[in-house]
Amino acid sequence: MEFVDLKAQQSRIENALRARIDSVLAHGHYIMGPEVRELEQRLAHFTGASHVYTCASGTDALLLPLMAWGIGPGHAVFVPAFTFFATAEMPALLGATPVFVDVEPVTRNMGAESLEKAIARVRREGVLKPGAVIPVGLFGQLPNMKAILQAANGIPVLEDSAQCFGATHSGLRACNTGADVAATSFFPAKPLGCYGDGGAMFTNNDELAARLDSLRIHGKGKDKYDNRHIGINGRMDTLQAAILLPKLDIFPQELMARQQVANWYKAALPSRLERPVLPAGTTSSWAQYTVLLPDTEDASARRDAVQQALVQLHIPTQVYYPTPQHCLTVFAHLGYRPEDLPVSLNLSRRILALPMHPYLAQNEVECVCGALQDAL
Query: Is 366 exposed, middle or buried, given 0-12, 13-18 or 19+ CB atoms closer than 10 A?
Result: middle
Question: Nearest distance from residue 35's CB to ligand PLP, in Å?
Answer: 19
Report if residue 76 touches ligand PLP, rule: CB under 6 A. no
The binding track of 176-215 with respect to ligand PLP, each residue x by CB under 6 A or -, is ---------x-x---------x-x----------------
Residue among 187 and 264 whose Cβ is closer to ligand PLP = 187
Collect all residues with Cβ–Cβ distance below 8 Å to 34 and sequence separation of at least 6.
Answer: 27, 238
Q: Is there binding between residue 140 and ligand PLP (CB under 6 A)?
A: no
Stretch that binds ligand PLP, among 28-36, 52-60, 65-73, 257-265 (CB under 6 A): 52-60
Beta carbon of residue 84, minimum distance to ligand PLP (angstroms, whole number): 4
CA gap 56, 191 in Å, rounded: 17
DSSP state of 355: P
What string marks each residue from 88 to 127 as x (binds ligand PLP by CB under 6 A) or -?
----------------------------------------
Q: What is the largest CA-CA distance in the chain?
A: 64
Distances (CA, A) of 272 to 76, 295, 376: 40, 10, 9
Which range of residues in 37-45, 55-63, 243-251, 300-308 is near ligand PLP by CB under 6 A? 55-63
| 216 close to 53: Cβ distance less than 8 angstroms | yes
Helical segments of the chain, H only:
6-27, 34-47, 58-68, 86-93, 112-125, 145-152, 206-215, 238-268, 299-312, 342-350, 362-375
In the complex, the smallest distance separating the C-beta of residue 37 from ligand PLP, rounded to whole angstroms, is 21
d(CA 346, CA 353): 15
Q: Is 46 in the site for ligand PLP (CB under 6 A)?
A: no
Instruction: Work out whether 160 is an interface residue with ligand PLP (CB under 6 A).
Output: yes
57 near ligand PLP (CB under 6 A): yes
Restricting to residues 212-231, which ones interact with ligand PLP according to CB under 6 A? Answer: none
Our CB check for ligand PLP shows the closer of 137 and 156 to be: 137
**Peptide bond preceding 53: is omega within 30 degrees of 0, i.e. cis?**
no
83 contributes a contact to ligand PLP by CB under 6 A: yes
- At CA 339, angle to CA 337 and CA 340, rounded to 5? 70
Nearest-approach distance from CB 345 to ligand PLP, in angstroms:
18
What does the per-residue mask of binding to ligand PLP show for 291-330, with x meaning CB under 6 A?
A: ----------------------------------------
> Using the rule CB under 6 A, which residue among 24, 162, 262, 368 binds ligand PLP?
162
Q: Which is nearer to ligand PLP, 68 or 371 (CB)?
A: 68
Q: In what order do the strands lie in the sheet with 172-173?
A: 172-173, 168-169, 282-283
Residue 159 found at the interface with ligand PLP (CB under 6 A): no
Point out which span in 10-18, 56-64, 299-307, 342-350 binds ligand PLP (CB under 6 A).
56-64
CA 43, CA 302: separation in Å to the nearest integer? 42
How many Cα neighbours within 13 Å face the side chain of 292?
Answer: 18
Nearer to ligand PLP, 68 or 86 (CB): 86
- The correct pick among 17, 67, 86, 99 for binding ligand PLP (CB under 6 A) is 86
DSSP string across 252-297: HHHHHHHHHHHHHHHHHS-TTSBPP-PPTTEE---S-EEEE----T
Nearest residue relative to ligand PLP (C-beta): 58
User: How many CB atoms within 10 Å of residue 31?
Assistant: 11
Stretch that binds ligand PLP, among 30-38, 47-55, 81-89, 294-302 (CB under 6 A): 81-89
Chain positions contacting ligand PLP, by CB under 6 A: 57-59, 83-84, 86-87, 136, 160, 162-163, 185, 187, 197, 199
